[in-house]
Amino acid sequence: MAARSTPVQPMYHMRPYTFPNEPVYPSTSGMYRMAPYFPARPPSSASGEMNVSNDVSSYSEDDLRQLESVHLEIEKELGSLKTRVDACNKKTLQLERESESNKVDRGNQFAKLEKRQDSINQMVTNLKHEMNLLKQQRRTASPRSTPEPAKQSTIQPPPIPVDAVVKCHPDNPPSATLLVFSHLQKYTPVSWRSMCHSTLSTPYPLSSTLLQHVEKSIQPKLILTLIWKGEADKPTLQISASQTTIYCDHTIAKYLCRLYAEDLYEESTPQIATEIDHWINSFSMQLLAGSSKEKQNLIKNLNAHFGKNRWLVGDQMSLADIVAFSYLTNRNILEEIKLQKNVTEWIKQTSLELPFSLPTLQPLFTIPQS
Amino acid sequence: MFLLFLILYFGNFGIIYFTLKGKKQCFLLLRQQQFTVQTILCLSETVSQQMIKFASNLNRESLLDVTGIVMAAPQKITGCTQEDVELSVTKIFCVSQAIPRLPLLIEDAMRSGAELDEEGPQGKAGQETRLDNRIIDLRTPTNQAIFRVEAAVCKLFRDILTEKGFVEIHTPKIISAASEGGANVFKVSYFKGSAYLAQSPQLYKQMALCADFDKVFTIGAVFRAENANTHRHLTEFVGMDLEMTFKEHYHEVIEEITDTFVSIFKGLQENLSEEIATVYKQFPAEPFKFTQPSLILNYAEGVAMLKEDGITMGDEDDLSTVNEKRLGKLVREKYDTDFYVLDKYPLAVRPFYTMPSVTEPGYSNSYDMFMRGEEILSGAQRIHDPDLLTERALHHKIDLTKIKSYIDSFRYGSPPHGGGGIGMERVVMLYLGLNNIRKTSMFPRDPKRITP
């Protein structure tokens, strides 16, 4: 019952009949209402008729209406964005007059916003196009479907979240993936689950606690499913059943970044993104697969780099740093290499400065002691 | 060769199933349940020529009382479960002689698929021959193992649920009305009138909960008059049913059931690994995989996975057997588990007593559980409100007079509850990866067979 911790309610409220992930009964109030387990009126729509739906004709008016509302929403957002861009424009002009030194920075922000606006514009045109297409197809399809109103879809399937399944071995945890995942909860509603596979001789004790700091959303867009296995030595990612299995922690982290945390990876300039790629590649080739000499070489390079720079790429933390941090604190890898002073210092600093909370992830990392 | 110090008197009987004849010596292969040992009679002071002749003329499958000395085998003995020792006979008595021509040769019943290919069709013991001569068929090590696994499944189910605070109940099998108000029931004459054979203990489980038993389970025969000659349907099978009240959410029930399953799987893995290996030897299958906690997918997610795989089906359609298998394969590829739960089925495809979902209109608080892509449990939160129940029954066009006592049982205060029924034979079949449910039913009953 401990897992079913619902926020404490005042005494005079009906207990919310909820499960961590979903509200079972929508907002209840009062303490005299009956039977909270079923709707007062059973859904009349749920008739026994089967719905034979295929391609276009399955898009009901409701679907179109929904699309339209989404369209409107995006347009509204676009409007607000435009005013913001205008304001920014004004400000930059002002600032331009005021000081030359600040100009570059502001201009950068301005360019970013503009880029985002462009992408949204693109999305809107795409959506319009899609809608028109649908409307057209519907018009052609409707003569057939109108005489049989019973064929209308009676149920609306709930939105299906992306379910990223990561299979990994407890000795080789996907630390970078977990770090990025705890970061991207800021940008999108997420949920997670953690399971121990039957190939594991004893259940992994940390499995259910690692992601405790990530709040499970009721309607997540992304679910991270961790399966702790006894065999897989490299973490693998499976998004759909038919897709090629994706290997390695850093590749999975990349995928998560591309989904919702672009600020860590590809949002920046092509140059920076490529630099991030470069570092990640060298970690995978030298630190994971290389000989001990290559490993030590990389540490030497890193040591030199950290002597002068706080972060691997640019002046803020990026995916490259997260991958470096997780590999450099991995027990298996640490056994084979000798860390140098600047690297040790960097790990310590970073562990304190990670921009997202990771209290429960801490046991995954071996922070070197001096 | 050296003598072992240990001298055993075989008080138990062994059954011969193979002899090698020789003039001065004779080999017998003795079996005791799933274990076999090689036995040798050598011409010596204690073993006479007549004794060897007597032994070599014994019919296969005869019951023997043997006394002998356990000796280390000069080389590893193949074809026996006891590979390192053999038994040198000093006394041999025949307790019961089998007939000389057996209707089914046990070696034929023991062949695995690979061996069958070598032997060709003449060495094959067909399913029907085996079932007709089930007593001999059951003597194979594989069958010995299968029914030991089955016993363990039952015992684990009972022990685990009792541990969890469930009460075992026994429900009547002769009932006055069809439980689900529909077809698939056997009608039997009952004195001057007629009665039905219970197709599920469900109503009685629910009534026990209304009688304040909190959590109950029952193991017993269930009858289905389905004229289905498939690999997974029987007309009589053992149902392991459980039903429980819950406090906040019907997922408590799912959690309890999946937890029970995981414990059963683990118990089998730990205690019966030898038996499972024996079965895999004759019927090769991949070891059963599961996760803890179990994977729960929404029905809509399952449909989405199937659609992504190129299958056209409506959101409100039930899963066909083919799609069920397909989804099982997809889930195994993505999640690497042979056991999972599909939650929130469309209301339209579930029985009238299923609780509709509050948050998602058109769906219901019901679930199926799958092993290797085949359904083994079907369950739901049941409606415990008489008015709603009446409404749903009318919606399904069920004659209210026939289910009056069922509806009435919820009129005296009833707890929110849910549960499910598990087919024991199916669980064993799918856990072991067998291809036919008749292999896991000791004396199977199907539309074409009511003997032996």
Whether B233 is catalytic is yes
Mean pLDDT of A51-57: 42
Give the confidence band of A31 by pLDDT, cuts at 50, 70, 90.
Answer: low
Predicted local distance difference test score (pLDDT) of residue B59: 83
Q: Which is more confident, A356 or A311?
A: A311
Residue A351, SS3 per DSSP: helix
Percent of chain A with pLDDT over 90: 17
Predicted confidence (pLDDT) per residue in B265-278, tens digit: 999 999 999 999 99
Contacts of residue A163 in chain B, CB cutoff 8 Å? Answer: 301, 334
Q: Which is more confident, A232 or B154?
A: B154
Contacts of residue B301 in chain A, CB cutoff 8 Å? Answer: 160, 163
Contacts of residue B414 in chain A, CB cutoff 8 Å? Answer: none
CB of A196 less than 8 A from some CB of B = yes
Pair of tokens at residue B340 = 């999972």
Least confident span in A41-55, A103-117, B102-116, B340-354: A41-55
Q: Which is more confident, A354 or B317?
A: B317
Predicted local distance difference test score (pLDDT) of residue A49: 40
Least confident span in A1-5, A229-233, B360-364: A1-5
CB of B383 less than 8 A from some CB of A = yes
Whether B31 is catalytic is no
CB of A7 less than 8 A from some CB of B = no
For residues B253 and B246, the answer to whether their CB atoms sit within 8 Å is yes
Contacts of residue A51 in chain B, CB cutoff 8 Å? Answer: 314-317
Selecting among B61, B243, B374, B375, the annotated active-site residue is B375
Question: Under an 8 A CB cutoff, do A155 and B316 touch?
Answer: yes
Residue A50 has pLDDT above 90, yes or no: no
Residue A215, SS3 per DSSP: coil
Question: Under an 8 A CB cutoff, do B292 and A160 touch?
Answer: no
Mean pLDDT of A295-307: 90
Go through B80-89 and write b for each residue having 16 or more CB atoms within 10 A of its CB, e for each that does not.
Answer: bebeebbbbb
Tell me the C-alpha distance between B327 and B310, whole Å.
Answer: 12
Mean pLDDT of A137-155: 51
Question: Under an 8 A CB cutoff, do A43 and B316 touch?
Answer: no
Secondary element (H or E) of residue A298: helix A292-308
Question: Under an 8 A CB cutoff, do B334 and A227 touch?
Answer: no
Mean pLDDT of chain A: 75
Pair of tokens at residue B419 = 């549960």
Selecting among B226, B236, B316, B360, the annotated active-site residue is B226
Contacts of residue A165 in chain B, CB cutoff 8 Å? Answer: 334-335
Mean pLDDT of chain B: 87
Whether B286 is catalytic is no
Residue A369 has pLDDT above 90, yes or no: no
The full set of domain ranges for chain B reads 9-96, 106-137, 141-439
Contacts of residue B303 in chain A, CB cutoff 8 Å? Answer: 157
Give the confidence band of A137 by pLDDT, cuts at 50, 70, 90.
Answer: low
Q: Which of A313, A307, A305, A308 is nearest to A280 (CA)?
A: A313
The alpha carbon of residue A222 is apart from the nearest alpha carbon of chain B, in Å, by 13
Least confident span in A36-40, A144-148, B412-416: A144-148
Predicted local distance difference test score (pLDDT) of residue A47: 40
Residue B331 has pLDDT above 80, yes or no: yes
Give the confidence band of A77 by pLDDT, cuts at 50, 70, 90.
Answer: confident
Residue A32 has pLDDT above 80, yes or no: no
- Tally Cβ neighbours within 10 Å of residue B43: 15
Q: Which of B333, B321, B328 is nearest to B302 (CA)?
A: B328
Q: Domain A162-364: give its CATH code.
A: 1.20.1050.130
Give the confidence band of B16 by pLDDT, cuts at 50, 70, 90.
Answer: low
Residue A70 has pLDDT above 80, yes or no: no
Between B424-432 and B141-163, two packed helices, what is the crossing angle to 10 degrees? 120
Predicted local distance difference test score (pLDDT) of residue B120: 55
Residue B193, SS3 per DSSP: strand
CB of B298 less than 8 A from some CB of A = yes
CB of A244 less than 8 A from some CB of B = no
- Tally Cβ neighbours within 10 Å of residue B219: 19
The alpha carbon of residue A345 is apart from the nearest alpha carbon of chain B, in Å, by 39
Selecting among B130, B134, B148, B232, the annotated active-site residue is B232
Predicted local distance difference test score (pLDDT) of residue A235: 92
Question: Under an 8 A CB cutoff, do B361 and A46 touch?
Answer: yes
Question: Under an 8 A CB cutoff, do A195 and B292 touch?
Answer: yes
Predicted confidence (pLDDT) per residue in A192-216, tens digit: 999 999 998 888 888 888 888 888 8
Predicted local distance difference test score (pLDDT) of residue A2: 43
For residues A249 and A237, the answer to whether their CB atoms sit within 8 Å is no
Whether B378 is catalytic is yes
SS3 string, B331-344, reads HHHHHCCCEEEEEC
Count of CA atoms in the C-beta half-sphere (13 A) of A162: 14
Percent of chain B with pLDDT over 70: 91
Give the confidence band of B374 by pLDDT, cuts at 50, 70, 90.
Answer: very high
Query: What's the whole-model pTM score?
Result: 0.78
Tell me the C-alpha distance between B290 and A233, whole Å.
Answer: 19
Please, what's the largest Cα pairwise distance for chain B?
A: 88
Q: Considering only alpha carbons, which residue of chain B is nearest residue A164?
A: B334
CB of B392 less than 8 A from some CB of A = yes
CB of B300 less than 8 A from some CB of A = yes
For residues A195 and B292, the answer to whether their CB atoms sit within 8 Å is yes
Give the confidence band of B41 by pLDDT, cuts at 50, 70, 90.
Answer: confident
Predicted local distance difference test score (pLDDT) of residue B371: 96
Q: Domain B141-439: give its CATH code.
A: 3.30.930.10
A253 burial (CB, 10 Å; 0-12 / 13-18 / 19+) is: buried
Residue A79 has pLDDT above 50, yes or no: yes
Predicted confidence (pLDDT) per residue in A254-279, tens digit: 999 988 888 888 777 888 889 999 99
Q: Which is more confident, B13 or B448?
A: B448
Least confident span in A68-72, B292-296, B443-447: A68-72
Please check whether the domain covering B9-96 is classified as CATH 2.40.50.140: yes
Residue B153 has pLDDT above 90, yes or no: yes
Contacts of residue B305 in chain A, CB cutoff 8 Å? Answer: 240-241
